[in-house]
Structure 1
Amino acid sequence: MSTESTSSRFEDIREKFGRFRILIVGRANAGKTTILQKICNTTESPEIYDGKGNKIDPSQLEGSMGRGIHDIENELIFRSNGKFVFHDSQGFEGGRKDEFVRMKTFIADRANTTHLKERLHAIWYCIPMDKIDRAIQRSEEMFFEECDSNNVPVVVLFTKFDALRVKALVKLAPADRRLALQGGLPKIRPLMEEIFNGADAWGRLSKMTYPPKTSVRLENIHKANEGCNILIENTASVLNDEALQMLFVSAQETNIALCIKYTVQR
């Protein structure tokens, strides 16, 4: 397929499906806002629209995106990349059963709607690793045991993975710790993996009634070019429809290699 015909195919898909729509779920301080900013290559806050497309003044909202208190129907769109539309899970992570029910209803409705431009295409569930001993809490159990995502793929994002470096340093002898801090000790990474595997977060999730499709580990997300590519590649890999893969790949603008890969394949 030529570049011109591929570009035309992308445009046809965008005309049919509209923006690529993602629900992002996670506790406060899980890194949700930073992740969306990195994906959209910006440091600005998103513009917020209600379910009817009316722009909302952020000052009128209770709380902030970082605290997850938006109406889940609100659409978050970054001016730097208007090909994505995001929804925030609105705080069920704090144990609010009514918000959990609203989220389940939102997922079911958006997964099955006949209006293609309103469909939900993927869910990113953020679990921070800075408190790995309590990584899987009641909110995760509720979601993966009770929330049938209706064939909308769920990707777990183990955020703040670099926090395990501190825990690994504690396990080292003082001399090795000094070497590790100077970047001269290769033992630190295996120890981080050992701590992560010992918590068995992925093992527990994968055995639940509605397990996630895949997971990614995100670290140093505030650094340039860190974290985005692996998330983009893993999300593309679990989309079960070729048109949705193309919609997602054409929407993201940070991984040019992935665009070329899918263009060649198609």
Structure 2
Amino acid sequence: MAHASIHIYGITVDFSKSKRNVQSAEVQIGKLHLPIERQAGKIWRQTFSTPMELSHRDAFSLHMRYRKWLGMKTDYEDIILSPEDIFRVYSASDGQEYNKFHNKIRIVVDLSSNTTTEQVEQSVSSGETSELRPTTSEIFRKCPRFRILVIGKTGVGKSSLINHAFGVDKTTASHDRPGEATIDDEFISPQNDRFVLHDSKGFEPGDEHNLKIVREFIEGRRNMSAPEHQLHAVWLCLEIPCAGGALLETGTEEFLKLKSSEMLEDIPVIVVLTKYDVLVDRIERTLDETSLNGLSDKAIMELAKNKADAELQKICIGPLEKFSGPDIPHAEISTHKDHKETLTRLIQITEKCVGLHSTPEAAVMTSIAQRVHPGLKIKASIDFGVGKTRYWKALASSTTFKNRKTWDCLHVLHTDIVNVWNFYDPHLYLQSQEFRELMVKMVDKLEVGPTPNPTKTITIGLSMVGTIAGIVSALAGPAAPIVVPIAASAVLAVWVHDVYQISHAVLQRFMSYIVHLTLVLQTLYLVSESQGLTRRAIKLAVASYLDSQMCEEVHTRIQEYDRQLTILERADSDTLDKIVEVIQFYSMDAAEMSRLREKIPPAGLSSDEPWDTKKS
């Protein structure tokens, strides 16, 4: 049987017989680049939580960096691997690995053939699949990135918007390469490779050339059949004008007229009104000082915002709706720290529009790619990632996990949840064996620890989040190592070797794992602020969550659910509903996140430390 593609699940590079002094290693397939980490001795190994897909036409290589034994000079080498050879080996023996020897270096590639989504879903539902496959790997296969076109004049704030919305430090936009970049160029940030940006300058009065370029680009993308190549959204960035200024110019009006035509009717276009903070500041300076006597700074800010919103309606929203009608959504935004909640609304609008006009996979990728709205991460996990579509909903009946090792079942749950949050995790710490074991030990610690009082009045979820900020402060000494108070767990071996089966203990453990992992990642989102993850940051999030009242209450709720129903009474839908209920109860919105971040002191999270730091 001929295979259209093969999934690569891992790669090992063995330098045991080579005299090379390896400094770093990276696997490259097409445009995908992933690091390979040093293991014991001269072994480098990487397991890919989201399998890398290899087709016959892909370029496949290892980029090696060596340091010479004498001096500081560095050498580089690209070791080419032939896709044709790999496919030949796989087809000849249905082998699960490909071996290559290069100058005493042994390279082992772990393989598995690709399967269609329908085949995977059928086999999962029947419990007959030969392997468990993360749901997100199928989503990424169909639509690996959220594709967006951002239009706006120089100085309107496009780069700042992209950087904040998608959690990257610097956008490689066309104005960084004047005269070189075009609208067809794909800009992908190494800090967040789940979105691809197309950049276009704004529409100048009388300039029909750029309007033609944009129109032809959109038409070309509409004619592409694969979701990954289609355009998922357009942000038309317009700076909020000063009083008396005009929002819409001739070129912009001509573009908006296209919305009523067939060309743009199924492409979400969101008008982004930038520099909202400048408008608020201008309004605040005009306030009558005598009317402000006795008002707090917060009250004055709210008054300025209310007046700014009225002005915005007059100079922007009113003219926009008069010209285009109510069908083109809009959002005023600012990347200033006092107004970051405006980005949340823009992302909400975008995700909703993409969901109405594109494939489900594209809507999921909108939520995964953005890094300002934690609620959409949780929603994506529940609705599309793993919750209602596959694994969470079958915990009580064991249909999908029948005859599976418990650890393998946990592996797909963990992988999907982490993938949806899309942290900047260059070392893949969140997918590491160490972090997975840490989460298992956390669940076990809560199980064997003292049972919380079930009659205790449970605090409203969002009122507890201040407790986490206090715990972070206590742990956040820049020089002090962070110790996660979890001892070695005897149950770990049981989770690795036992087969999943229906019981009170197993169901409670799996429900606890899903909820606690989600809320640990929410805590990590709070403390990391889209920075590259370190083990120190992850340990800080785990320790903070573990010591919080939230963690105790989550465990109480799951225990109470387990006590109230017998296995025979418990349906899959009930179990899913309970998981969703608990997660949503303790979810933080973006505004709460912003307020809490202001209370968290510097924690030295850019430095790193081992997983197993002990108390001195």
Question: TM-score band, normalised by the shorter chain?
Answer: 0.7 to 0.9
CA distance in 2 between partners of 1:250 and 1:89 (Å): 24
What corresponds to 1:214 in structure 2?
Answer: 329
What corresponds to 1:54 in structure 2?
Answer: none
What corresponds to 2:178 in structure 1?
Answer: 62
What corresponds to 2:376 in structure 1?
Answer: 258
CA distance in 2 between partners of 1:197 and 1:225 (Å): 18
Aligned counterpart for 1:38 among listed residues 164, 170, 176: 164
Question: Please, which moves more after superposition, 86-95 or 238-247?
Answer: 86-95
- Contact 1:144–1:210, Cα closer than 8 Å, also in 2: no
Question: Please, which moves more after superposition, 112-121 or 205-214?
Answer: 205-214
What corresponds to 2:405 in structure 1?
Answer: none
Q: How many residues align?
A: 245
Aligned counterpart for 1:168 among listed residues 268, 283, 287: 283
Q: How does 1:36-185 map to 2 (within 5 A)?
A: 36-46=162-172, 61-62=177-178, 70-93=181-204, 95-131=206-242, 133-146=245-258, 148-176=263-291, 182-185=297-300
Aligned counterpart for 1:243 among listed residues 333, 355, 361: 361
Identify if the C-alpha distance between structure 1 residues 167 and 262 changes in structure 2 by more than 3 Å, giving closer, same or farther: same
Q: Deviations over 1:214-263 (max 9, x none)?
A: 221212x0438824322222111112142221122122344332111232
CA distance in 2 between partners of 1:252 and 1:261 (Å): 13
Q: Deviations over 1:186-209 (max 9, x none)?
A: 43222112211121x223333445
1:188 is aligned to 2:297: no
Identify if the C-alpha distance between structure 1 residues 176 and 79 changes in structure 2 by more than 3 Å, giving closer, same or farther: farther
- Contact 1:111–1:121, Cα closer than 8 Å, also in 2: no
Identify if the C-alpha distance between structure 1 residues 109 and 134 changes in structure 2 by more than 3 Å, giving closer, same or farther: same
Secondary structure at the counterpart of residue 187 of structure 1: helix
1:24 is aligned to 2:142: no
Q: Deviations over 1:102-155 (max 9, x none)?
A: 110101111221243321110011111143522222232111013542411011
Identify if the C-alpha distance between structure 1 residues 29 and 118 changes in structure 2 by more than 3 Å, giving closer, same or farther: same
Secondary structure at the counterpart of residue 125 of structure 1: strand
Q: CA deviation at 1:169?
A: 3.1
Identify if the C-alpha distance between structure 1 residues 142 and 76 changes in structure 2 by more than 3 Å, giving closer, same or farther: same
What corresponds to 2:136 in structure 1?
Answer: 10
Q: Percent identity?
A: 24
CA distance in 2 between partners of 1:177 and 1:95 (Å): 46
- Contact 2:147–2:233, Cα closer than 8 Å, also in 1: yes
- Contact 1:146–1:209, Cα closer than 8 Å, also in 2: no
- Contact 1:156–1:212, Cα closer than 8 Å, also in 2: no
- Contact 1:75–1:87, Cα closer than 8 Å, also in 2: yes
Secondary structure at the counterpart of residue 83 of structure 1: strand
AA at the equivalent of 2:360 = E
> How high is the TM-score relative to the length of structure 2?
0.36
CA distance in 1 between partners of 2:234 and 2:344 (Å): 17
CA distance in 2 between partners of 1:93 and 1:78 (Å): 29
CA distance in 1 between partners of 2:308 and 2:382 (Å): 37
- Contact 1:47–1:79, Cα closer than 8 Å, also in 2: no
Q: CA deviation at 1:38?
A: 0.9
AA at the equivalent of 1:112 = N
- Contact 2:173–2:199, Cα closer than 8 Å, also in 1: no
Q: Which structure is larger by alpha-carbon Rg, 1 or 2?
A: 2
AA at the equivalent of 2:268 = P
CA distance in 1 between partners of 2:338 and 2:223 (Å): 37
Q: CA deviation at 1:210?
A: 8.2
Secondary structure at the counterpart of residue 12 of structure 1: helix
CA distance in 2 between partners of 1:263 and 1:26 (Å): 33
Identify if the C-alpha distance between structure 1 residues 180 and 11 changes in structure 2 by more than 3 Å, giving closer, same or farther: farther
Identify if the C-alpha distance between structure 1 residues 149 and 209 changes in structure 2 by more than 3 Å, giving closer, same or farther: same
> How high is the TM-score relative to the length of structure 1?
0.78
- Contact 2:207–2:251, Cα closer than 8 Å, also in 1: no
AA at the equivalent of 1:121 = H
Alpha-carbon RMSD across the aligned residues, in angstroms, is 3.1
Identify if the C-alpha distance between structure 1 residues 210 and 174 changes in structure 2 by more than 3 Å, giving closer, same or farther: closer
CA distance in 2 between partners of 1:47 and 1:193 (Å): 31
Secondary structure at the counterpart of residue 118 of structure 1: coil
CA distance in 2 between partners of 1:137 and 1:210 (Å): 17
Secondary structure at the counterpart of residue 156 of structure 1: strand
Identify if the C-alpha distance between structure 1 residues 193 and 211 changes in structure 2 by more than 3 Å, giving closer, same or farther: closer
AA at the equivalent of 2:146 = F
What corresponds to 1:197 in structure 2?
Answer: 313
- Contact 1:24–1:125, Cα closer than 8 Å, also in 2: yes
CA distance in 2 between partners of 1:179 and 1:158 (Å): 33
